Structure 1
Amino acid sequence: MNAFQLTNIAVASCAGAIGIPGNICIVFVFSRRQNKNPTDVAVIALAILDLFLCLLLIEGSASPKTIRWMCVVETILKKGIFTAGLFITLFIAVCRYFAVCRPFSSRFSSPLAWTVSAASLVLSILIHLPIAFHTKPAQRQGIAACDPFGDDPLLRKIYVALPSVLAGASLSVIILLYVKIYRVIRHHQALRERMTNSLGASNAEGCISSISAAVSNTKSTSNISTPTDRQPSVQLSSAPTPGDDVSGNADTKANDASGLGDVHVSIDLKKPPCSGSEEPYKKRTTRKKQQADHKTTRMLVIMTVIFFILWFPALAIQLMTTDQKFRLSQTIPKGVAILTVLNNVRFINQFINVFIYLIANNKFRGECVQLFKP
């Protein structure tokens, strides 16, 4: 059994033991979420593509390719799924850019994310459709395999360079988007630190900001009337105390003198809205949402970096000529085995994402634990 066969068996074993259950878990966990955002939909679509590719890897290692139509189907689907995964990874970066950098602008919707994912697969298959007319069975190291380019040298040059061009262009755009996202995240962190330090140093400023937020939140429940024929007055409804009576009379006189008559503002002061370092609820909610977005972005950055790292050896080997590959295989000890392994490292992408999500995403880890609880 040579290196080519051993590598195929190892890849197929990992796909069956890790890739299929891992991607099914990703699809099931993200599908159970009530309010799925476009990033969740893109992750589900990416896991579905990885699941189908794992099935193709198992089928490819189990049966030698001696029939032309089997070679055509396998080649088109494999190359199409790889390219579609690249497009969806780019779409995820775009979604994160709008979620972090432009949270108040019109975001992508979940139906649009499904449409983009499906269009990515269809476009990828159409891009590789010309290969179908030249693919044929061939012998590779004594094993029946598929030759996707046949005897057409021009087609071989085009489709050897195409994955590198698409990967390079996508990687450039993704790096640009994530650099902008990183700058916004750093700005949010610096702003939050300044606000925290300011609130901790000045108790009065925290009280003023909390009271202002409480007053603004009572606009919908305030009863304000301003008759034109008499002077307005301000009444503050709260539990009266002896001190409040004196200050209330003084405030009423001052308001009568200033021309604020029948403006009745009702504010519930039973629970003090301010206690030194307490922040308004809306600010705390916004901060938690920002932190969740930042953690999700970090997880997706890790996934994207690993995706391109695992893809790079295969792209480099594909750009080599046949003579260069032959010289390397003869010069390096066990060169054929090394080149075969490096060319198949890309398949790790199909079953590594579940580990990235488990390590970098607390929410996903908790949802997985809930699945297996009795």
Structure 2
Amino acid sequence: MKLVDLMIELVMLLQILEDGLPIVLVAVFTVIVAANAVWCALVMLLPLKQTVLVENLIDLIFDLLIAVGYPMILVCYCLSAFKFDRAKLMINQAVFPQGWLEQSASTIADPVQTVVIYKTLNSLRISSIFNFFTRMGINITLWLKCQRLMNLMENPRRQSSSVYPRHCRLAASSLVAFAIFVIIYVEESTRTSAVACHPHPECVINARRWLMLDSLTQCPCLALIDNNIAPKTYSEWMDPKDITAKVAHLATMGLLQIVQLTNRKLEVLPEELRGCTDMRYLSLVYTHTQTLPVWAKELKQLEYLHVEGKMTIGLVKLPDDMFDEMSSLTTLHLGSNLALTQLPSFHGLTRLEMLVVAVSLSLLELPAFDSLYKLERLIIGIMPQLDSLPDFLPIHDLKSFVIMDRGMWCCNGS
């Protein structure tokens, strides 16, 4: 049973390292796993009274720490680490009209901090079949140990022998070696991945992997954020820094899940991003992007897509079948794409909750809303060529509908 416990905990630790959680949380989980193994070794070697009861009680405590205690520590960390200027948000909500981006809390919050908290809390979700079995495994072992401890307390004579071999130096040494290996592995994974990602400050979250010397040029980046929200010169605004090569390099390992760029030039999405099949968040604001590649539809795990152009340059065309398989997309924001005349079909956006289309002066029509069953917020702004709106009948739970500026479809007396 203890071997199963340690294997499940090791798998969970590896997942925590892959998720790039903050080093404090990694250290806490590592200490729990190592202490669990060392405790077993001590029980085997030390002469303890009421050994069976003590063994079962301590085993139960370690399982509770993994199944209940660590998630609570994780949530408390997020609550203490997240700082937000609520007074500024209240001012924005009072000053800016409803539907403006400035009313959103995400425009005020520190993007790096937001992404770290998002990734940390997201690690509590059961996001894969493998993750499901590890969580179920730790909870099943917790339940079995509770049952065993209750039976032992009701009838102490029922189990008179220890569940661990007594005075077995080989087994105890193996457990101590396991604890040392876990600590060394975590330390080296943290150190080598930090060395690989040090030349790339834009990578704000990276997987913690033990990289060999020949791999130290490959940063296992999970989140890339490069925002220039306050250009100091006119040239910085009109001709921003080209970050295409940087994005391509950090996408080489296929691990990128979050890309957020503001006022950085990325005219074409590099081919390397195609391999990032677990991409969840893509925000391209003032990046001079004029089109998205035909393979963009392969980013099936995408949950958030924001593409905003400038008055001088923006999206011109999107692939016709881009959204056909993006069933995970919950937010779609397209703004200031003045030359865009047509949007792809919304047929695949069955989970879309927020749709924003603004300052699209050439857009002639919106695609049908037939699949937007879960749409809750709809914002349409400054689209003078739009002469009608799609049928709203398929939308079951629309909570907010904001129109900014008039168009041919509205307010002409008809």
The structure that is strand-richer by fraction is: 2
Of structures 1 and 2, the one scoring higher in RCO (CA 8 A, sep 6+) is 1
- TM-score w.r.t. structure 2 length? 0.24
TM-score, with structure 1 as normaliser: 0.26
Structure holding more helix per residue: 1
Structure whose alpha-carbon radius of gyration is higher: 1
